[in-house]
Structure 1
Amino acid sequence: MCLDDPTHSRRDILKLAALLSAAGALPLLSSLQARAAAEPDAPVRIGYLPITDATPLLVAHANGLFEAEGIQAERPVLLRSWAQVIEAFISGQVNVIHLLSPMTVWARYGSKVPAKVVAWNHVGGSGLTVAPEIADVRQLGGKSVAIPFWYSIHNVVLQQLLRDNGLRAVSRAVGAALAADEVNLVVLPPSDMPPALASKRIHGYIVAEPFNALAENLKVGRVQRFTGDVWRNHACCVVFMHEHDLERRPQWSQKVVNAIVKAQLWTREHRAEAAQLLSKAGANRYTPHAPEVLGRVLAPGAEEQQAYLASGAIRHADWQERRIDFQPYPYPSYTEELVRRLKDTLIEGNNAFLASLDPRQVASDLVDDRFVRQALAEVGGLQAFGLAEGFQRSEEISP
């Protein structure tokens, strides 16, 4: 998206809101049903944004992991906005996507999209970046901060940080007067955020990588806090698949998840190589990002870790969080806590459906973990990802 055309960004946001309503989704769901009937054995068709959240899907494609499982995969489709991702998925143009975890709640319960979370795509991988002159979250009072979308872990974590620093999130027109303790939240596509920060249109943004690293490289912003240092090992994007594939093609679905889990393992062991693979210098040119920007996220040096500890971007050294990490199991405790927090988060638009959601029921219904459990068993279990065995955990949130 081009910052010089804010109406285009606004139009895209409105389109996404329309798509994720029951009425707006209906025509696309009809298209999905028609496609499924016409092509019951469709190959893997991935839709993605050029952010590090997409890493496992792209690595699985680049390294031939889908073919190694005995299924075909087309070249992943690069999309430019969450609206495009949702539209392509609901209409059946793509059948495997990475999606913001709160957006899956909205999709399934707000617009009745028949799809489920089958795995986590990554953990962490996001941060709050602020203008160089901002030294403390409290200095964001009276200013604007960008989020990628209302239904995002970024919005949830940001509002927690603001509350803990005596600030209130509001949604006002651009240029509207703000009280000293108010922070105006504006929705921007990730690619628009660094230019908006550089031009002082906003004073901060919270978003997926590599747009925090990009601001650092361009020297237009600094990382105030990593989201994974606020909510330990939180999911950001998850793998979302159509329910009809999960039910009618369970073997195919299993192989899709197998490939993604193996891609996550490979990435953990080949971080610098993954940065090159995803970059504009890679053979497939999956993203427009330079290898050094992606390397700063996927394979940061020890000196950077020390700098973040000194600045306060990392406060929980004992958590041993990576800037981005990968593990596929969708812990129910996370989904339950996410639903609880969404109910108390400022979200524009029709969010009335949230009030009736039961966190435990959502964790059971939204997620289908049978495929990822089997995939994990085949690679050595959660221990292969440096985690304790067992599919339960307690959420740690400490702003």
Structure 2
Amino acid sequence: MTHDLDEALFLGDRIGLLHAGPRPLEVVTSPVTRREQLTDGSARRELLARFSSPAERDDLGGHDSAAPAVPDSPTAPGTASTRREALTITGSLALLAAPVVGSLLTSGARTAATAATGPAGHDGGGEAATLRIGYLPITDAAPLLLAHDSGQFGRRGITTPAPILYRGWAPLVEALQGGNVDIVHLLMPLAIQLRYDAKVPVKVLAWNHANGSALTVAKDVERVEDLAGTKVAVPAWFSVHNVVLQKLLREAGVKPVLDTAPSAGARTTQLVVIPPADMPTALQSGSISGYIVAEPFCAAAEVLGIGKILRFTGDVWKDHACCVTVVRETLVRDRPDVALRATEAIIAAQLAIRADREASARRLSEGRYLPQPLPALERVFTTRRDPAYVTSGAIRHPEWESQRIDFQPHPYPGYTGELVGAMKETVVDANVTWLEDLDPAQVHDDLVATDISAAALDATGGLSAFGAARVRTEVIEP
């Protein structure tokens, strides 16, 4: 079961649509082969034409329409909430037209609980609280997972049940939006898109990590220019991966395209969205020539011998953030003390990771938080400026002395502003009119819980504990 049409096209030979009306289930054979399913826009259009009524086609096909209101949004209409009114995430479409029963029931339960015990997601009993963690199986989630595993949350009066693993960004966002989880890691551009496009009231508490991603390619790819005429995968349209990849392509004189077949002669590369877990398989099969994504999927390609690192993203944008810790705004507004202590727990976990990277990788594996092989995790956490990467060109700025993945919580305002500006020049398969009028200088103070972030950092040793300064200048050199 999936809400992601692109995922259905890629994984399924036969695809069914659940309807709320008189024809509850319709199943057809996928109109294209699996290789073509990765990117063929005509397949999506054919399925929409076969599966939906004219009114549904207007809803499902509308990348040009504004993102719909969602149940937790202050502007939500409060009635007729359907699956086709769900968020359009990473350029994919929500398939199901059935009511959002789970989210509405969860919302109702929270309302009843709040009346008796306090704000949603907490027991209301003095300082105690419960936060449910949602995550993707990538190293970006390490601070959240290890703060849970090591008891950092518990020592601060916060109960965290077993973290819930999600396979893709869309279901993780829906879980946060619907109240099934309370604290997650999200791609920073996705957090921006959620707040200002989809009107989902989210707040950033801290950076989860810095760097931790790479452009991984087939073994016969030697330069970014070699990607012309091929397909390259990104995990989401609204991701720093897409931003950095397009900077690299433009620098190499290659034009990114979306719904057009790639051409070596025209020097174009077609970008496609694939869930991170499916990227190594797609690379191995030859469906794509490369992918840019969070670790450890890049290290896994190296360990499995199916690909190589062409460029580390942290060598393009020095010590950039990728994922950030995100909660619903109600937590920050109604229980700032809980938000503060949760942020302190995450920062403490980041310091512990930096103190013993090898043990952290081992615990993520032994605790079954991440399913990738331990050698891949160890490569991510412990490999530092391998001379072979300098020789190959994967690292062009060894003087930056950047870690393959690093952990630093302070959300730099300059980064947020630079990111918003970069998003405006990045091609995505979505309506971005909302982005055109967004003021980069104003986003940071609105999106980030700056007071909580600063107080938590001060309570856990300050930026000096991370060897970082309070102010920095963004360095981007593709």
Q: Provide the TM-score with structure 2 as the length reference.
A: 0.77
CA contact (8 A) 2:218 2:308 kept: yes
SS of the residue corresponding to residue 145 of structure 2 reads helix
Q: Of residues 239, 253, 256 in structure 2, which corresponds to 1:169? A: 256
SS of the residue corresponding to residue 350 of structure 1 reads coil
CA contact (8 A) 1:31 1:92 kept: no
Q: Of residues 163, 177, 192 in structure 2, which corresponds to 1:105? A: 192
Q: What is aligned with 1:34?
A: 108
SS of the residue corresponding to residue 93 of structure 1 reads coil
Q: What is aligned with 2:361?
A: 275
- Report Cα offsets for 1:121-163 as digits up to 9, x if no partner: 0000000011100111101111110000100000000000000
Q: Of residues 255, 260, 263 in structure 1, which corresponds to 2:346? A: 260
Partners of 1:22 and 1:112 lie apart in 2 by 8
Q: Of residues 378, 396, 399 in structure 1, which corresponds to 2:475? A: 396
Q: What is aligned with 1:295?
A: 378
Change (3 A) 1:329 1:34: farther
SS of the residue corresponding to residue 74 of structure 1 reads coil
Partners of 1:35 and 1:319 lie apart in 2 by 50
Q: What is aligned with 1:243?
A: 329
Q: What is aligned with 1:359?
A: 440
Q: What is aligned with 1:73?
A: 160
Change (3 A) 1:63 1:209: same
Moved segments of 4+, more than 4 Å = 1-4, 6-11, 24-33, 175-179
Q: What is aligned with 2:68?
A: 22
Partners of 2:312 and 2:323 lie apart in 1 by 16
Q: What is aligned with 1:340?
A: 421
CA contact (8 A) 2:204 2:326 kept: yes
Partners of 1:85 and 1:163 lie apart in 2 by 31
Structure ranking higher in helix proportion: 1
Pairing 1:376–2:450 present: no
Pairing 1:150–2:237 present: yes
The one-letter amino acid paired with 1:320 is E
Change (3 A) 1:386 1:203: same
1:6 is displaced (CA, Å) by 8.3
SS of the residue corresponding to residue 386 of structure 2 reads helix
The one-letter amino acid paired with 2:288 is I
SS of the residue corresponding to residue 69 of structure 2 reads helix
The one-letter amino acid paired with 1:34 is G
The one-letter amino acid paired with 1:396 is V
CA contact (8 A) 1:32 1:90 kept: no
1:178 is displaced (CA, Å) by 6.1
SS of the residue corresponding to residue 102 of structure 1 reads helix
Q: What is aligned with 1:46?
A: 133
- More RCO (CA 8 Å, sep 6+): 1
1:176 is displaced (CA, Å) by 6.2
CA contact (8 A) 2:68 2:198 kept: yes
Q: Of residues 243, 264, 267 in structure 2, which corresponds to 1:181? A: 267
Partners of 1:124 and 1:7 lie apart in 2 by 39
SS of the residue corresponding to residue 150 of structure 1 reads coil
Q: How many percent of aligned residue pairs carry the same amino acid?
A: 46
1:44 is displaced (CA, Å) by 1.0
1:248 is displaced (CA, Å) by 0.6
Q: What is aligned with 2:145?
A: 58
1:22 is displaced (CA, Å) by 2.6
Name the stretch that deviates more: 284-293 or 157-166: 284-293
CA contact (8 A) 2:228 2:262 kept: no
Partners of 2:11 and 2:163 lie apart in 1 by 28
- Report Cα offsets for 1:175-197 as digits up to 9, x if no partner: 66664410000000011111111
Partners of 1:387 and 1:184 lie apart in 2 by 38
Partners of 1:363 and 1:251 lie apart in 2 by 21
- Report Cα offsets for 1:204-226 as digits up to 9, x if no partner: 11000000001001111110000
- Report Cα offsets for 1:218-239 as digits up to 9, x if no partner: 1111100000000011100000
Pairing 1:5–2:91 present: no
Partners of 1:179 and 1:244 lie apart in 2 by 52
1:33 is displaced (CA, Å) by 5.0
1:23 is displaced (CA, Å) by 3.4
Structure 1 or 2, whichever has the larger Rg, is 2
Pairing 1:123–2:176 present: no
Partners of 1:233 and 1:49 lie apart in 2 by 21
1:387 is displaced (CA, Å) by 0.9
- Report Cα offsets for 1:331-388 as digits up to 9, x if no partner: 0000101111111110111211001100011111111121221121122210100112
Aligned-residue RMSD, C-alpha:
2.3
SS of the residue corresponding to residue 184 of structure 1 reads strand
SS of the residue corresponding to residue 158 of structure 2 reads coil
Q: What is aligned with 2:92?
A: none
> Which segments of 5 or more consecutive residues in structure 2 lack a partner in the other structure?
1-6, 16-36, 39-43, 45-59, 82-99, 124-129
1:21 is displaced (CA, Å) by 2.7
